[in-house]
Structure 1
Amino acid sequence: MHPSPPSPTATVHTLVDSEMDLAPAAPPLAKSLSRRSQLDVVDPDERAALEAPADVIWVDWDGPDDPANPLNWSRRRKWIISSVGILFCALVSLSVSGYSIAEASVQAELGCSKELALLGITLFTITFGTAPLLLAPLSEVYGRSYIYLASAIIFAVFFIPQALAKNIETVLVSRFISGIAGSTAVSLVGGTLADVWRGEERGTPMAWFSFSAFGATGLGPVAFGYVAQIKGFRYVSWILLAVSSFFALILPFILDETRASVLLSRKAARLRKETGDERYQSKDDFERGSLREMMSTSLGRPVQMLLREPVLIAITAWISFTWGVLYLFLVSIPYVYSKVYHFNTGEAGVVYVVQFIGSALGMAYDQWCSRYYRRNVEKRGPEARLYSAFGGGIFVPLGAFIFCFTSYPQCHWIGSAIGIVILYIGMYLTYLTAFSYLADAYALYASSALSAMSFVRNCVGAVFPLFTQSMYDRLGIQGATGLTAGLGTLLSVTPFILFIYGARLRARSPFAKELARREAEERAKREGQTRRSAEGSPCRSAEKTLDRKEAV
C-alpha cells in the first residue's frame, strides 16, 4: 500500500510549542540535509521516506470529518478544553500578583530584606522563559493532557511549603518549583487552542487567553489585598492552595488529549495491537525525531532566529519592555498609592481592579480592530495583525504619562487610576498582537520565534521588580514614571515601522525564504491536483471524446 499524504488538519499547529506543517512536496533529500545545518529542519516526508519500511501503512484520520480529530469536535467540547488552559493561566497570574501584594508580609514575618522578598516574583517569573524550552517538547511524546495534569498537581502542592515556611529560602525554592509547573502548563495553552480551533475560529479563544494573563493579574491584589494586610502571606498561600487543588482534582474529568500527532500515534499503536500487523505506523512518529533532536531544536533554533531575524528582534524588544512595565507597576502601585495617597495594603489592592478593566477594554478594542484584519489580510499578509498593535504603541506611553502627571497629593487618585487603565489597554494589545503576528509571519517556525520572544520577555519581566523601588526612591515617582513613559514612546514606533517594512525585512531572512519555497511547492501541488480533478478519470475523458464526436 502506498503511503498516504498527511492530513493538513491533523498536522497544522501554531503558537508557543507547536509547529505549523505546510505539508510540502518533498524536495531531494540532499538538499534537505544541507538546509538542516542552516535551519535545523528536515522535511517530514523525507524523514518518513528515509526511516519507514517500504510496505508501511500510514495511519491518518478517517476522512476530513473524522470525529476523532479535535478540529471536528463540537464547539461546547472545544470551549471546555480551551477553558482548562485559560483557567490555568488565570491561576498562575493570581499567584504572581497575590504574592506581590503580600510582599510586605513576607518581609515582616520572615525577617528578610525587601529585595529578597521580591526575589519570589523574579524566580517564579524567570521560569516562564526557560522551563518551556526544556519541557514543552515532552508534549510531543506524551501528550498535553499528562503535562497539564502533572503541572497542576505540582503547582498546587508547592503552596504548602510556602504557607508553612519558617525562612525566606523555603519560600523562594517553593516558588521556583511552582513556577516551573505553572510555566510549562501555560506554555501549552496556545498549542491547545491551535489543536481544537481552526485559524479563522481562533481569534476569540486567543483573546480570552490573553485576557486571563492580564485580567487575572489585576484580580490577585483585589482578592488578596485585605487578606495580606489582616492575616499575612500564609493565608494567601492557603487560599491559592485550595483553589489550585480544586482545579487539579477536576482536571481528569474535563481534560482530553488534543495533540493530533499523539492521537494518531495512539491510533496506530491500537491498530497494531488489534490486528497484529506491525505495518500500521503514524507518520508523526517518523516526523518527530528523537527526544534529543527535539530538545536541540527547542533550544537551538530560537537562539538562531533571535540573532538573525530583525522582525523578531524588534517585536521582542517592544514586548519585553512592555512586559517589564507590567511587573514594574505590579510593585510600584502599592508604593505610589501609599506614599502619595496614604492607602493601606487592602486599599492599594483594590486599585488593581483597573488592570482588569483595562484588559477588558483592550479585548473589546481588539475585536473592533479584527474587521480591519479580515478586510486587509489578503493584501497585507501577516502585517494585517498589526492594526491592534497601533493601539498598543499609543496607549502604553500615553497611560504612563497620565499616571506620571497625576500622581500628586493635590490630584484625585482616580486620575492616576485612569492612566493605569489606558496603560493596560496598550499592554494587552501589545501582548496579543505580538503572539498573533509572529505566529502568522513565521508559520512553520512560529514555535521557535515565540519561544525566543517569550524567553527574553520573561527574563526582562523577572528583573524589573528587583530595581523598581530603588528607581522610584532615587528618581522620584515622576522621574521614574516619566522615564518609563519616555522609553515607551521610543518603542511605540515599532508596530508602525513593521507595518510598512515588515514584509521586506522578512523576505531577506533564510527562514522566510524557506517558508516561501515550501508555500510555492504546496501551491504547485494544489494546482496539479486541481488540474487532474478537472481532467477527470480516463472513463470520463472517453465520454467527453464520444460527446464531441457525436456533436460533429
Structure 2
Amino acid sequence: MEEKAQQLTTDVPGTGADAALSVLQRVEFSSASHPIHWSPVKKWIIVVIYCSLQTFITLTTTTYVSAEFLVQEKYGGSTQVVALGQSMFIVGTAVGPAFLGPLSDIGGRKWIYVASIGVYAILNIGTALARNLPMLIIFQFLCGAAGSTALSNVAGTIADLFGDMDGAGQPMALFVMSANYGPSIGSPIGELIAENEKLGLPWIFWINVIIGGAFAIIMCFVPETLPRVVISDAARKHKSSDPNEIVVMSERVDVLREIRFVTSMAFRIMLTEPIVTFLGIYNGFAYGLLFLYLDGVFDVFVVNNGLSYMSADLTYLNFVVSVTIMFLFVPVQTWLYTRDRKRNGGVGRPEARFLTSLLFVWGFPISLLWFAFTCDGSVSFWSPIVAGGLLGFCDPLLWLSMLNYIADSYTNVAASAIAAFLIPSFLIAAACCHIGIVMFNNLGAKWAMATLGFISFGLVALVYVLYFFGPRIRKWSKLARKH
C-alpha cells in the first residue's frame, strides 16, 4: 500500500505536489470518513467560527488607524512613519501564508490555527508594551504574519468541508464577507477605545490579547478538517481494511518540499503568468481602496460635512451593509455559472465566473467618481455614504470571482496560483496605506477619489479582456488548463 501511495504522488499528470494532491483528493472523497460527508450544521458551525476569527484578525488593519494620533503623541514620528504600523501588519499577512499554509498539511489545520493565534495573542503583548515606535512596527509585522492563518487557511478549511468551488460557493462568499467585515467595523471600534480615557492606545492591543487567547482556547475543541488526517484517524480507530483509506494513511507530507514548491511555483507564476499577475495587481488596488477610502473619511465627513470623529468612522459601516448584500447575491452568480456550464456540455468555463462582474465591475468607477464629486459638503453626506456602499458591494464580489477564476484556471497548481495572486494584492494594499496619505494631502478628497475612479477603468477593461479573450490567453500558458 505504501508503494501505491508513493505512485499516486509521483505518476500524476500535472505539476508537482498540487497535481499529486488532486489524485489523493479523489481517493479521499471515496471514504465515508471524509469531512465532506459531515452534517451541514456541523460544517457551517466550523466555517462560522473560522470566519469570525478572520473578522477579528482583520480588525487590526483599521483599529490601528483610529489610534494613529495617539501613537504619534506617545512615540513621535511623521504621519508616514506612524502608518508603517498598519502597512507592516498587512505585509505580515502576505508573508505568513508562504509557510503557515504548507505547515497545515503536516498534522492538520487545527493545531496550526491554535498555535498561530495563540502566538498572535502573545505578540500583541509586545505591541501593547512597546517602548518605542520601531518596536511597535516590528511587533505589528509579526502579529500580521501570525494572524495570517485566518486569511490563508480558512479557504482551505472550506474546501475540506464542501469540496470544489461549486459546492463551496456560499461558504466562500461568507469567507469574503468576513474578510471585509473586519476593516469595516475596526475603525469605529478603534475610535471608541481611543476616545475612552480609561482605555487609550494600549487597549487597542490588549483587547487582541484577550480575544485572541479566547479564540485559541475555543479552537482546541473544533474538530480537525484536513481530510487526510480525519480519514487516517478514523481508519486507525476502526481498524479499517478499505484500500483507499489505507492509501490515505500511507501518504506522507514532506513539509520542506511543500514549502519550497508552493513558494517557488508562486513566484514562477507571478513572473510568467500575466493572468495571475494582473489580477493580483488590480486586486491589490481594489483591496487598497478600503484603506484609501479610510484616509479620506476625516476630510470628507469631519471637515466638509461637520460630523464628529465617531460619526465619521461610523460611515465606514456602509461596507458592512454592502458586503452582506453581496453574500445574499452570490446564489445568482452560482446559478448563472451552472447554467453556462450546462450550455457548454457540462464543462465549466473559468471565464463564466465573471458573468455578474461584467455588469458590477462598472461600480468601481461609478462609485468612486460619485463619491468624489459629492464629497465637498455641497450635498447631503448620505450621497458619498451610498457611493461608498456601492463600492463595498462590487469590491468583494469581484474578489470572489477572481479567486474562483484562478482556482478553475490553474487546477493543478491552485494553491501556488492563489498565493501568487494574494502576495502582490497584500503588498499593494500595504502601499496604499501610504499612497492615500500623499494623495489626500496633495490633491484633496475630491480629486484623490476622482483619480482612483479614472484608474479603475483599467479594472473594467481587465475583466472584459479576461471574459472575451481568456481562453486564448490560457492557450499560451504552460500551467493553465486549456479546455
Q: Please give the TM-score of this superposition, normalised by the length of structure 1.
A: 0.78
| CA–CA distance in structure 2, aligned partners of residues 130 and 24 of structure 1 | 27
**Mapping for residues 142-291 of structure 1, pairs under 5 Å:** 142-199=107-164, 200-231=166-197, 232-253=200-221, 255-266=222-233, 283=247, 290-291=254-255
Number of aligned positions between the proteins:
472
1:362 aligns with 2:329: no
1:131 aligns with 2:96: yes
Displacement of 1:26: 4.4
Displacement of 1:267: 5.8
| CA–CA distance in structure 2, aligned partners of residues 202 and 40 of structure 1 | 25
1:414 aligns with 2:378: no
Q: 1:460 to 1:42 in 2, by over 3 A?
A: closer
| CA–CA distance in structure 1, aligned partners of residues 281 and 115 of structure 2 | 33
1:72 aligns with 2:40: no
| CA–CA distance in structure 2, aligned partners of residues 244 and 302 of structure 1 | 30
Indicate the residue corresponding to 2:416 in structure 1: 448
SS at match of 1:76: helix
| CA–CA distance in structure 2, aligned partners of residues 143 and 306 of structure 1 | 28
Unpaired segments ≥5 residues, structure 1: 7-22, 49-59, 517-552
Q: 1:81 to 1:281 in 2, by over 3 A?
A: closer
Q: Is the 8 A contact 2:362 2:460 kept in 1?
A: yes
| CA–CA distance in structure 2, aligned partners of residues 133 and 216 of structure 1 | 22
| CA–CA distance in structure 2, aligned partners of residues 459 and 127 of structure 1 | 9
Q: Is the 8 A contact 1:268 1:281 kept in 2?
A: yes
Indicate the residue corresponding to 2:407 in structure 1: 439
Q: Is the 8 A contact 1:227 1:235 kept in 2?
A: yes
Q: Deviations over 1:128-152 (max 9, x none)?
A: 2222112311111121001000112
SS at match of 2:104: helix
| CA–CA distance in structure 1, aligned partners of residues 158 and 10 of structure 2 | 27
Q: 1:120 to 1:100 in 2, by over 3 A?
A: same
| CA–CA distance in structure 2, aligned partners of residues 116 and 166 of structure 1 | 16
Q: Deviations over 1:391-445 (max 9, x none)?
A: 4421111111111001112222111111110111111112111111111121121
Indicate the residue corresponding to 1:105 in structure 2: 70
Displacement of 1:285: 7.3
| CA–CA distance in structure 1, aligned partners of residues 366 and 73 of structure 2 | 36
| CA–CA distance in structure 2, aligned partners of residues 192 and 205 of structure 1 | 10
| CA–CA distance in structure 2, aligned partners of residues 457 and 348 of structure 1 | 27
Q: Is the 8 A contact 1:393 1:493 kept in 2?
A: no
| CA–CA distance in structure 1, aligned partners of residues 173 and 150 of structure 2 | 18
Indicate the residue corresponding to 1:352 in structure 2: 316
RMSD over aligned Cα, in angstroms? 3.1
SS at match of 1:140: coil
Q: Is the 8 A contact 1:215 1:357 kept in 2?
A: no
Q: 1:41 to 1:155 in 2, by over 3 A?
A: closer
Q: Please give the TM-score of this superposition, normalised by the length of structure 2.
A: 0.89
Deviates more, 1:207-216 or 1:288-297: 288-297
Q: Is the 8 A contact 2:19 2:413 kept in 1?
A: no
1:511 aligns with 2:483: no
Counterpart of 1:457, as a letter, is S
Displacement of 1:281: 9.0
SS at match of 1:469: helix
SS at match of 1:91: helix
Displacement of 1:264: 4.2
Counterpart of 2:429, as a letter, is G
Once the two structures are aligned, what percentage of the paired residues are identical? 25
Indicate the residue corresponding to 2:292 in structure 1: 328
Displacement of 1:116: 2.1
Q: 1:309 to 1:86 in 2, by over 3 A?
A: same
Larger Rg: 1
Counterpart of 2:227, as a letter, is A
SS at match of 1:491: helix
1:85 aligns with 2:50: yes
